[in-house]
Every structure is written in C-alpha cells, then in structure tokens.
C-alpha cells in the first residue's frame, strides 16, 4: 500500500508518529468544538453514579483520550470540587469510552485516509467559521490516524517475516506475561492505549501473533494508560493521588481477574467464536473487557472509594492551593475554561461565607472571626492570582468566542476579589472602630443593618448562580436595583433618627452609613457580570 524509499523501521516509527499526531489533532479540535458540552458534562458529576459513568464515556469520546480525562479528574480532585466516589464512576466510564477509537481502527480504513485528508483540508482551507474549521481538523486528525495505522501495518508485516523477530515472538508466546509488560511499558511511553492495541492488531493481521497473544497486549495497554494520571498526580494533593491510584487499582484488578487461566481461556474462546477478522476480535476483546469490568466493579464503587481514602488520607500539613491550575499541564482553552470555572465558583463560595459572617463582626469583639475573615481573603487573593494567570496563558491560544469567555471570567473573579477586600479591609475596620469606641447601634438601626445584610446575601447568591445560568441575570439585576432602593430608604430612616436626636444613632452615624454603602458596593460588584451576560 505504501511505497516509500525508507527502511521499514522508519515507516513503522513514522506510522506511530502519524497515529499519535492524528489523535492529538482530532482531540484538540473536538475540545474546541465541544467546549460548552464539556463544561455541561462536568457539572453532572455529582448527580448519580450511573450518570458519572455516562459522563466518563462521553468525555472520553469527545476528547479521544482516556489519559486526558483522568488527568483532568486528578486536577478536579486536587481542586477539591469533586469527591473520590464521583470520580470513580467517571473512571469506569473513561475505560469504556476509550474503546471507540480501537473499534474504528479495527476496520481497514487506511485506503480512505488520503482522500479524507484532502477533502477535510479543502474544507478547512476555504471555511470561514471556526466551528467548520474545527470539524475539518477533526476529520484531518482521523485521516492521519488511519494513514499512520496503515504505515504501522506495513512495517509490522515486514518485521513479522524476519527470522530474529519470529524467534522473539515465539519466546513471547511461551511467556505471555512478558508481552503484557512490554505493552504496558510501551503504552506508558506513548500515552496511548489505542496505538498500543493498534500495533497488536497489525502484528496479529500479519500472523506474527495469535488472538490469545494479542489479548495480553490489550491487558497491558489498559494498565499502561493509567500512567498519565499517575504522573499528573505526582505533585498533587491527597485527593489527586486518590483519583490516580483509584484508576490504577481499577485497571490492575480488572486485568488480574482476566489473567486467571480459566477465565482468560474462556474469554479468548468467546472472541474466537465470532466470524470476523482478527483485528475486529481484538477490538471486541478490548470492548468486552471494559464492559465486563465495569459491571463487576460498579456495585463496589463506594466501598472501594473508602478503602482508597484510607490508603491516601489527608495529611495534617495539607495547605490550601489550586494545584491543578498548572500552566504546563493543560494546553486546551476549552478545558481551561472548565477547570477555571470550577476554581471561580470555589472563590465565589468563599466570598459568600465572608458576606454571611460579616454582620457578626459588629456584635462584639471577636479576634478569631477577624483572623478567619483575613485568612479567607488571603485565599481569595491567591485563587484570583492563580486563576487569572492560568486564563491569560490560554487566552491567546483560543478562538475569538473562547477568548471573550476568558475575559468575562477574569472580570468576574476580579469583582469577587474586590468584594472580599471590601469585607476584609473596610468592614473589618468599621467593626474594629465600633468595638474599640464601645459604640452600640440603636435597636432600629441594628434591625435595618441586619435587613440590609440579609438582602445582600440574597443578591450575592442569585448573582453567583447567574454566572453559570444566564437566565437568572435579569433576576440578579432586579434584586440589585431593589437593594439600591432599600439602601436609600434605610439611609433616610437613619437621618430621621438623627433629626430626632437619638444618641446611639448620632454616635454610630458614620459607621452606620458607611456600612450601608459598603454592602451596596459589594452587591454591585457581584452583579456586574449579569449586565453583559443576560439573555
């Protein structure tokens, strides 16, 4: 099929290179094409274990890489926005989703690779819309993948005829567990179970190995693919490590079950009973292996999660961090938006607790509460800096639409940071002044401040929910306007008390009015995004 003036070793390596680059190209284009879908799928993680599996299948299908998905899960775990039990359901789903690419490459599509590439490139060259360009890139990626597989097959056919290779493969047939180790190591090196199983298909097609031998390559590839998550978790916190090792233990235990001789023999016999090519049998073996493993382990997700949590407990010196926001780990702007959105909502939750506790500052002197407010503001400052740097790093790599989303995210987290500063600096200063001078609000004044505080919490919660739900933007804006009217009414009430000569109101006047003003500022900051995002 391929007549190149190169050694077959170069053809084989070139095929691997085309295969891997094609997968990467298709994956990156799909990420951009399905950016909003990815975010939506991530938001379903907590709904049920079955949905978690569906999310895992869907994400792996969209991204064409179980390694990328598990690395993402390590990041989400490191950010403490998901639990291990939720992640384990997704891990099972990623294993099933990874079988789609193997199913595709089991068909002999290399003859259509160049026509498909030419057609896709023509569309990409002439298209103006970014969505059409990304779709063309997806097709170009698959074309390169199929072309690379054809080169791998040509190289494998040549080497399978060499006497030294035949002898070596006979040795492997006598020691199949060595094949498993080789496949595991190769998969860990190339970060792709598909290319590992594709190589096994090529060897089986040339007659170099049998279906029985190929299944050990499948087992090894399934364990080797866990290396991506393990590497990502190396510098992670305890949850990230739990996620990565849960993935490893799930795959390793699944393989251990299938390595039991009666089970393995029965499994190979089942695959052989189908009237199909050896490539299809290997692909079906990969699919059935993951489906059976999922069915076996699904009932034990929660007990398994508890066991792994005991193996990797939280250390006492576990510091607050945003460990998954690594500028070097994630090159996709679409995924960057998903990860950063999670981090922004963590920041919003911290700011909300600061607003809720701010009224307590004026009850009585409480040094521990002031220190707690300061500590939370420091966390917000840290998350703001890290998330802003993370997003800016990806802004220039994105499409115009994604770039605008990144700018909106930076503006929102900036407003969150400013709201936290108002509480930590301005409100805390007012509270310290009131308590130092031993001043007390009038009963009416105190009730009005609590009323203002309650309304600010309502506005804040609505505005934060509106950030991910544009339909609530108008509601947030209306609540903010009602708050502004309330602030004017409460200010007039206070001035009325001053005119009546109430001593408490006179003594606390500047603090009272400044407090109303600062609460109004906080509400305004949190609703700023709603004006540009409302539908």
pLDDT at 78: 59
Strands (DSSP E) contained in 329-440 are none
**CA atoms of 136 and 131, how far apart (whole Å):** 9
**CA atoms of 29 and 314, how far apart (whole Å):** 37
With helix as H, strand as E and coil as C, how does 206-219 read?
CCCCCHHHHHHHHH
**3-state secondary structure (DSSP) of residue 405:** helix
Count the neighbouring beta carbons within 10 Å of the beta carbon of residue 175.
Answer: 11
**CA atoms of 49 and 300, how far apart (whole Å):** 11
Choice between 320 and 354, residue whose per-residue pLDDT is larger: 354
**What CA dihedral angle connects 181, 186, 188 and 191, to 10 degrees?**
-150
Q: Which of 53-67, 122-136, 214-228 has the lowest mean pLDDT?
A: 53-67
Residue 300 has pLDDT above 70, yes or no: yes
pLDDT at 323: 54
Query: In this prediction, what percent of the chain has a pLDDT beyond 90?
Result: 22
Residue 437 has pLDDT above 50, yes or no: yes
Query: In this prediction, what percent of the chain has a pLDDT beyond 70?
Result: 82
DSSP letter string over 448-503? HHHHHHHHHHHHHHHHHHHHH-GGGHHHHHHHHHHHHHHHHHHHHHHHHHHHTT-H
Q: Where in the chain is the domain with CATH 1.20.58.220?
A: 333-533
CB distance 32 to 70 below 8 Å: no
CB distance 354 to 423 below 8 Å: yes
Under the banding of pLDDT at 50, 70 and 90, the label for residue 2 is very low
Q: What are the backbone angles phi and psi of residue 508, rounded to the nearest 5°?
A: -105, 15
Angle at 321 between CA 424 and CA 59, to 5 degrees: 120
**CA atoms of 325 and 343, how far apart (whole Å):** 9
**CA atoms of 272 and 431, how far apart (whole Å):** 78
pLDDT at 328: 47
Q: Which of 48-62, 336-350, 388-402 has the lowest mean pLDDT?
A: 388-402
Residue 337 has pLDDT above 80, yes or no: no
Under the banding of pLDDT at 50, 70 and 90, the label for residue 443 is confident
Mean pLDDT of 112-121: 86
DSSP letter string over 279-337? HHHHHHHHHHHHHHHHHHHGGGHHHHHHHHHHHSPPPTT-----TT--TTT---HHHHH
Residue 279: closest CA among 209, 215, 217, 201: 201
pLDDT tens per residue across span 169-217: 777 777 888 888 988 988 888 777 888 888 888 888 877 788 888 899 8
Give me the chain's average pLDDT, please: 81
Under the banding of pLDDT at 50, 70 and 90, the label for residue 47 is low
Superfamily name with CATH number, domain 333-533 = Phosphate transport system protein phou homolog 2; domain 2 (1.20.58.220)
pLDDT at 382: 84
Choice between 410 and 68, residue whose per-residue pLDDT is larger: 410
pLDDT at 331: 53
pLDDT at 397: 60
Residue 366 has pLDDT above 70, yes or no: yes
CB distance 477 to 520 below 8 Å: no
Mean pLDDT of 286-307: 89
pLDDT tens per residue across span 487-506: 999 999 989 888 888 888 88
pLDDT at 15: 78
Q: Tokens standing for 160? A: 């399978």
Q: Which residue has the tokens 């891990």?
A: 91
pLDDT tens per residue across span 217-272: 899 989 988 887 788 777 666 777 888 888 899 999 999 999 998 999 999 999 98
Residue 383: closest CA among 342, 426, 337, 428: 342
pLDDT at 259: 92
Read off the DSSP letter of residue 161.
T
DSSP letter string over 426-450? IIHHHHHHHHHTT----HHHHHHHH
Contacts of 98 (CB under 8 A, 6+ apart): 60, 65, 66, 193, 194, 225, 290
Under the banding of pLDDT at 50, 70 and 90, the label for residue 1 is very low
Segment of 60-69, 146-155, 278-287 carrying the highest mean pLDDT: 278-287
Choice between 376 and 34, residue whose per-residue pLDDT is larger: 376
Count, in order, helices (H) and strands (E) of the chain: 25, 0
Choice between 60 and 139, residue whose per-residue pLDDT is larger: 139
């Amino acid at each position: 099929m391929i007549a190149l003036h190169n050694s077959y070793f170069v053809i084989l390596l070139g095929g691997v290179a085309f295969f891997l680059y094609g997968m990467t190209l298709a994956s990156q284009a799909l990420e951009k094409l399905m950016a909003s879908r990815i975010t939506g799928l991530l938001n379903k993680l907590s709904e049920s274990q079955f949905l978690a599996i569906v999310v895992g299948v869907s994400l792996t299908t969209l991204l064409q890489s179980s390694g990328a998905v598990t690395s993402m899960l390590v990041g989400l775990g490191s950010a403490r926005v998901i639990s291990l039990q939720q992640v384990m359901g997704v891990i099972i789903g990623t294993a099933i989703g990874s079988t789609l690419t193997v199913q595709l490459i089991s068909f002999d599509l290399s003859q259509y690779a160049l026509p498909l590439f030419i057609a896709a490139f023509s569309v990409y060259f002439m298209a103006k819309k970014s969505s059409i360009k990304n779709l063309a890139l997806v097709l170009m990626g698959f074309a390169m993948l199929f072309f690379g597989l054809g080169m791998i097959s040509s190289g494998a056919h040549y080497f399978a005829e060499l006497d030294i290779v035949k002898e070596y493969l006979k040795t492997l047939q006598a020691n199949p567990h060595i094949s498993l180790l080789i496949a595991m190591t190769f998969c860990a090196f190339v970060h792709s179970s598909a290319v590992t199983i594709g190589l096994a298909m090529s060897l089986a097609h040339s007659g170099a190995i049998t279906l029985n031998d190929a299944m050990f390559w499948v087992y090894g590839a399934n364990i080797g693919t866990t290396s991506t998550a393990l590497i990502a978790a190396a510098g992670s916190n305890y949850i990230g490590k739990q996620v990565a090792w849960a993935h490893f233990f799930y795959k390793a235990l699944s393989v251990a079950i299938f390595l039991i001789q009666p089970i393995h023999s029965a499994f190979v016999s089942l695959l052989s009973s189908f009237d199909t090519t050896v490539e299809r049998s290997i692909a079906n073996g990969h699919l059935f292996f993951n489906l059976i493993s999922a069915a076996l382990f699904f009932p034990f997700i929660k007990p398994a999660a508890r066991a792994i949590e005991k193996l990797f407990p939280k250390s006492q010196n576990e510091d607050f961090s945003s460990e998954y926001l690594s500028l070097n780990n994630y090159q996709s702007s679409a995924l960057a938006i998903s990860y950063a959105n999670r981090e922004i909502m963590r920041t919003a939750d911290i700011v909300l607790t600061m607003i809720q506790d701010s009224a307590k500052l004026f009850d009585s002197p409480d040094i521990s509460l002031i220190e707690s407010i300061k500590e939370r503001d420091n966390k917000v400052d840290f998350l703001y800096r890290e998330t802003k740097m993370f997003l800016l790093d990806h802004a220039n790599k994105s499409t115009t639409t994604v770039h605008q989303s990144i700018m909106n995210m930076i503006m929102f987290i900036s407003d969150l940071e400013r709201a936290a500063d108002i509480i930590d600096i301005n409100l805390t200063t007012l509270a310290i002044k009131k308590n130092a001078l031993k001043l007390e609000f009038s009963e009416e004044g105190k009730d009005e401040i609590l009323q203002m505080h309650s309304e600010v919490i309502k506005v804040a919660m609505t505005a934060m929910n509106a950030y991910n739900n544009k339909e609530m933007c108008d509601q947030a804006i209306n609540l903010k306007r009602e708050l502004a009217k309330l602030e004017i009414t409460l200010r007039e009430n206070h001035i009325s008390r001053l005119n009546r000569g109430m001593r408490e109101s006179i003594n606390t006047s500047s603090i009272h009015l400044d407090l109303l003003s600062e609460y109004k500022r906080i509400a305004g900051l949190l609703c700023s995004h709603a004006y540009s995002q409302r539908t």
